[in-house]
Each structure stands twice: as structure tokens, then as C-alpha cells.
Structure 1
Amino acid sequence: MILGALAGVAGISLAIIWSRPNAFCPSVYLQSNDEWPAGMIMVDGQAELSTRIEALTLCMSELKEEMKALKNALLTIQDHVTNELRGQSVAVAEVALRPSRTKPLQRSMRTRRKMASRTISGARAVSQSSDEESDSGYMTAVTDFEQEESSLDEGHSGEEERADNLSILLKGIDTLHQGTEFDKRESLNILLAKREELGQNSTFLWRLIRAYCDIHDISSSLEEKKTHGESGKQVGEEAMRLDPSCAENHQWYAIMCGLIAEYDTVQNKMKNGLLFKDHVDKAIELKPQDPFSYYLMGRWCYVVAQLSWIEKKIAAMLFGETPSATIQDALTHFLKVEDIHPRYSKANYVFLAKCYSALGQTREARKMYEAACSMDPVSRDDEGAQRDLDLLCPSLGVQ
């Protein structure tokens, strides 16, 4: 469709040129030289030369526009081909590459070249100086196009290079996140060094929040934990303002709210607990097939189900609402995790076992216990779940 539209533009331009017969057939040719004084013939000759130069300039200008249009069309075709290879836009690529839509533009370009050639030849027969002016105009048009083409290529190449560099950086950060304590600290240092450059990118910012969470977990002093927790929450607030439609922003901001609740007043602890739920709900809404969000919601429901009567009353007095969730609610979310991603984590199996045990479903609890035992811990969350699993053994009658 794009090439067809360009061809239509070229055809309209060509029609405008052809609709000016006087530009190529001036009235002086309809009469013999003997019928005009010599001085008058010279005036008409100059008028003819001026007309031909004007037509040549028009052709060059329209040729330049056609070359720009062709360049844009080729860039569009390249994008469509890329999308087709990725399996994202086969139908659009087929339309863009359809041969029949390119022929009008090709015919128009060839016609314009012939017209320009005839005009140049006619002008040379009248005056040698018109040749020099025409050649200069043509070379200027070609040079301008080449400069613009080079600029477009450089800009496109620069964007691709920046995107590739960001992708490589983020993959490296994800690897460090799965590594040792040293790797996690190195990840935070790298992200902080790049923050000024990439701080407007949401995929960068949520990884920075995650890095603060990692350092919080491995820090030994309470003050250090609190510092990293507050820093991570501030980054989370910034990420929210930048891109509220990013599910990962909501996930890691919710986690930070949960972390700093450990060091805050009772009122702020309750407030952060409600913020946790709100943002996990939003993450589920934005990315409903992400098992991590359901795991977080299951954890929230499990904790709320354990709240005492007095704690719920305090929350109602402070915020006008009582947090409400049951063990069955928690179980539903943990089962959703398993449904989306079987064997998602050791921790998820442990909480499934705890929920079934609390509901008196010992047989199912033992199945989840065995599933948890079959997986090695790969995160600090899994390590904590292993301790809970050991405490669960007596109630399940497991040695």
C-alpha cells in the first residue's frame, strides 16, 4: 500500500508536467524564421531557454522528491521484512513487498528520467550555458539526496546500536541477580553507574529496584537493610511515575513496601501492607499470565489470614477498612502459580503444603511436601521456605 501511494503521487506529478504543452512546444515553432524580425527571434529563443530551464528545474525537484519517497519506502519494506521473519506481521509484509505495487513508481521514475534527458538535450541546442546550469542543478540534487540518505542511515544505525547495548546490559544484570552475594553487589554498582544515562527506561528501573531488594536481603545490619529498602522504594515511586503500565514496576515496588514495613511504625506497616496488595493486583491486571504476581498475592493472603483480631481492628480504625483474606484464598493463588508454571519454585510448593495442612488436607499437604523436597533451593526465598518445610514435618507425620 505504501509503494502504491508513492506511485500515485509520482503519477500526479507526471500528469502536471504533461499538462503544460506550451512548456515544450512554444509558439515560435509554428512560424518560420522569415516571418519574424531577427531581434524578435532572439527574444523568443531566450524565452524558450528560460522555459526549458524552468521545466528542467521542476523535473529535478520532483525527481528528488521521488528519490526521497523511494528511500522511505525501502526503509518501510526493511521493517516489514524484519517483522515477517520474527513471525509478527506476515500479512503487512506481503502487502509491502507485492511486486505489482512497485511497477507504477518504477515507470514514473523512468519517465521522469527520459523527460529530463529530452529537456537537457533541447536546452543544449539553444545555449551551451544552459548545459552548465542544468548539470549543476542535477549534481546539487544528487548530492543533497546522498547527504540525507547518509544521515538517515547513521541515525537508524545509532538507534539499533543503543538498543543492542541496552539488551546486553540487562541480560548481564539478570545473570548477576542469580549469582553470588558479590555478583548482586556488582549488579547494583553497575546499575547505579548507568542510572543517569538510562534512568528514563522502565525496564532498567525495575531491575534497579530488584537490585536494592537483593542487597537488602544480604545486608547484615538493620540500618543498612533500612537504607537499601528506602532507596529501593524511592526508585519504585519514580518508576511508577515514568511507566505505570509496567507490571514489573508494580511487582518490585510492592515487594519494597513489604520490606520497609518491617522497620516502620504500626500505622505505616499497615499502610504499606495495603499498598503491597494494591500494586500486586495492578501487576496481575497488566500481566495476567505472570506466576510471580500470583505467588506474591498468595503470600499476602497467607499473612493476612494469620492476623489476630486486634490487628484487624487496628487496621480498620486507621484506614477505614479491614484487610480480609483466608487460607483458601492463599491456596487458590499458589495453585494458580502451579497452573501457569509447573514446578515454579520450591517456596511455592512449601506454601501449598502449609495451606493444605492448615485446611486439614494432610494427604495433599504431603504431596506438596514431597514436591518441595525434590527441588533444590535457588533463591533466598527458597532457603527460607526450606526452614518452614522442616518445621512442617511433625504435623505431616514425616520423619
Structure 2
Amino acid sequence: AATPPRGGASAAEEEGASSAAASAAAPSSALAARVQEAATLVVRADEAYAARETGLARSLLEEASALGLPDAARAEVRWRLARTLKELADEEKAAGQAGGSDGARKAAKQREKSLMLESLGAAREAVDLDGDQFGAHKWYAIALSITSAYDGVRAAIEQSFTVREHFEAAVRLAPADATSRHLLGLWFYEVAGLSWATRKVAAALFATPPTGSHAEALAHFEAAEALSPGFYLKNQVCLAKCSLALKDKPAARRWLASAAAMAPKSADDEASLAEAKKLLASL
């Protein structure tokens, strides 16, 4: 499932923090005041999210959601809420993996699933409200790629085309956003690595099943790295994996050495760093 780098908002997301809210038509002073209040709450929520105060970010965005906003302004709020709920789901996932009783792990898993389904709903609403916001498409694709897997391989395959379409929309709307490009590359990488059994299921479902190659994935990962060098440790690990799949060991070593020298900024980075070191030692 697609997972973006954890941390503050991307440059493209920061630029959009209040753009739609500020530009939304305001036919009355009361509506204008609500739009301005929402813009302030969005800025505070972005700051809280960047500081990993995820619960606070959620509260601020839910407060903004209740204001009665024009479509574009509400969409800005809703995709940010989807992003925040995804992070809260990740926290529940980590809690469930940390140990404890079977009951505690099951409860954490259920909370994780509930948060992700809520994230999906918020992101879908954002897309419906304003299809010109790249963040809405990006976070809808992320949430859909995760939640579709809850219903098994068949459901995940059925939704795979939709996931790709929304990642492509995010890239088209914000071509300078490295994260969106990385996630599109990850889609191609995961499709390229599908097992024989999964490919058989896909072939039975579609006349033209989803296809992707390591070469296509590599091109997207390279584009992401060119946009923002070193923005995400996992992107360099993915570059190395694609290089290995394409029998280019020298390139794989270069990317793994670069990744192994990076300082991790999150639990996701820690996992990617460990993988980079392990792969590098095996070459």
C-alpha cells in the first residue's frame, strides 16, 4: 500500500494551505469571516501536523469542517483531515505491533481500520468538492490503496486503476511535488512485483489487467529525486531496488550507500535505513 514520507507538509501542500480558502467567493461578510477562520485553523493544523501533534491537528480540522464553507475551502480542510487520520491510523498500527495482549492488538487493529475508512471518506469528499486540488487526489489514492486491501486481493486489484488515476492527477496538478511522483513510482513498482497467483486473479478480472515495469517505476523515482534530492530515504531505497531488478548493481550500490548515510527522521525512515544497510551488505 502506498505510504508517503512522514513529516511536515510538502512545499506544494504548504503553498495551498490557505490558497483555496482565501480565493473562494465570499458573497457575504459572514461567509468571508468563516473562510478566514478556516484558513487560520488550517495553518494551525499544518503546524500541529508538522510537529507530530496529530490529535490537535485533527481537532482543528474538525472545527474547520463545521464552519459551513464554500466547496474549494472545505476541500482544503477535508484532504488535510484525511492526511491526519492516516497518521493516526499509523500510530494505532505501531501500537498494535508493539506487543501487549491479543485483545489489545485486535482493538488497535480495529481502530486503525476505522481511522483509515474515515480518512477515505474525507479524501473522497475533497475530490468531489474540488477536483483541482492535488492534495485531494493524492490522499484519496493513498487511502484507497490501503482500505481496498481490507477486502482482499480481488478488491485491491479492482481499485488499482483508480489509485493510479488519482496519483497521476496529483502529479499533473502539482508537477513539482516529489512525494506524488514517488507514490506513482511506488504504484508501478508494486505492480511490477505482483506474484504469479495475483497476476492470474488480475487477468481473470480484467481484459487488460494493471501493468507496470521496474523501468517505469525507476523513471518516476528518479524524477522525484530530481525534484527534491534526499527528500525521502525510502525513495533512494526504491531506486536501488529498481536498479537491482534491472541488473544495474553499480547504480544500486550508489543509491544504497547514499541512503545508508542519511539521518532517519521517522519510524518509516528507520525501517528504510535498516533495509538499505542490509541490502548494501549483501552486494
Q: With structure 2 as the length reference, what TM-score do the two structures score?
A: 0.77
In the other structure, the counterpart of 1:192 is 62
In the other structure, the counterpart of 1:283 is 170
In the other structure, the counterpart of 1:237 is 124
In the other structure, the counterpart of 2:224 is 337
| Correspondent of 2:90 among 210, 217, 233 | 217
Structure 1 position 203, deviation (Å) = 1.2
| Correspondent of 1:265 among 148, 152, 159 | 152
C-alpha contact (below 8 Å) 1:313/1:322 kept by paired residues: no
Larger helix percent = 1
Residue range with higher mean Cα deviation, 288-297 or 267-276: 267-276
Unaligned runs of 5+ in 2: 1-27, 97-107
Secondary structure at the counterpart of residue 375 of structure 1: coil
In the other structure, the counterpart of 2:191 is 304
Instruction: Write the distance in 1 (CA, Å) between the matches of 2:266 and 2:39.
Output: 24
Aligned positions of 1:79-158 closer than 5 A: none
C-alpha contact (below 8 Å) 2:260/2:277 kept by paired residues: no
Instruction: Write the distance in 2 (CA, Å) between the matches of 1:379 and 1:162.
Output: 35
Matched, 1:166 2:16: no
Give the partner amino acid of 1:168.
T
Unaligned runs of 5+ in 1: 1-154
Structure 1 position 375, deviation (Å) = 2.2
| Correspondent of 1:203 among 76, 89, 109 | 76
CA RMSD of aligned residues (A): 2.2
Structure 1 position 245, deviation (Å) = 1.5
Q: For the structure 1 residues 265 and 215, does the alpha-carbon distance in structure 2 shift closer, same or farther, using more than 3 Å as the test?
A: same
| Correspondent of 1:356 among 210, 227, 243 | 243
Matched, 1:368 2:261: no
Q: For the structure 1 residues 216 and 371, does the alpha-carbon distance in structure 2 shift closer, same or farther, using more than 3 Å as the test?
A: same
Q: For the structure 1 residues 274 and 383, does the alpha-carbon distance in structure 2 shift closer, same or farther, using more than 3 Å as the test?
A: farther
Instruction: Write the distance in 1 (CA, Å) between the matches of 2:177 and 2:48.
Output: 22
Instruction: Write the distance in 1 (CA, Å) between the matches of 2:171 and 2:55.
Output: 29
Instruction: Write the distance in 2 (CA, Å) between the matches of 1:170 and 1:354.
Output: 37
Instruction: Write the distance in 1 (CA, Å) between the matches of 2:216 and 2:78.
Output: 31
Give the partner amino acid of 1:213.
K
Q: With structure 1 as the length reference, what TM-score do the two structures score?
A: 0.56
Give the partner amino acid of 1:172.
R
Instruction: Write the distance in 2 (CA, Å) between the matches of 1:282 and 1:380.
Output: 28
CA deviations on 1:216-266 (whole Å, 9 max, x unpaired) are: 111132111111111111112211211111111000000001111332222
| Alignment coverage as a number of residue pairs | 239
CA deviations on 1:274-303 (whole Å, 9 max, x unpaired) are: 221111112122222221111001111111
C-alpha contact (below 8 Å) 1:302/1:325 kept by paired residues: yes
Instruction: Write the distance in 1 (CA, Å) between the matches of 2:113 and 2:266.
Output: 21
CA deviations on 1:149-198 (whole Å, 9 max, x unpaired) are: xxxxxx77983x65554333222212222233xx1122112222332115
Give the partner amino acid of 2:120.
K
C-alpha contact (below 8 Å) 2:64/2:77 kept by paired residues: no
Instruction: Write the distance in 2 (CA, Å) between the matches of 1:281 and 1:266.
Output: 22
Structure 1 position 393, deviation (Å) = 2.5
In the other structure, the counterpart of 2:211 is 324
CA deviations on 1:313-338 (whole Å, 9 max, x unpaired) are: 21121233211111111110000011
Secondary structure at the counterpart of residue 307 of structure 1: coil
Give the partner amino acid of 2:243.
Y
C-alpha contact (below 8 Å) 1:198/1:204 kept by paired residues: no
Q: For the structure 1 residues 304 and 193, does the alpha-carbon distance in structure 2 shift closer, same or farther, using more than 3 Å as the test?
A: same
Greater RCO, 1 or 2 (C-alpha within 8 Å, sep 6+): 2
CA deviations on 1:80-131 (whole Å, 9 max, x unpaired) are: xxxxxxxxxxxxxxxxxxxxxxxxxxxxxxxxxxxxxxxxxxxxxxxxxxxx
In the other structure, the counterpart of 1:69 is none
Q: For the structure 1 residues 173 and 163, does the alpha-carbon distance in structure 2 shift closer, same or farther, using more than 3 Å as the test?
A: same
C-alpha contact (below 8 Å) 2:185/2:216 kept by paired residues: yes
- Percent of aligned pairs sharing the same letter: 29
Instruction: Write the distance in 2 (CA, Å) between the matches of 1:237 and 1:158.
Output: 24
C-alpha contact (below 8 Å) 1:294/1:337 kept by paired residues: yes
Give the partner amino acid of 2:54.
K
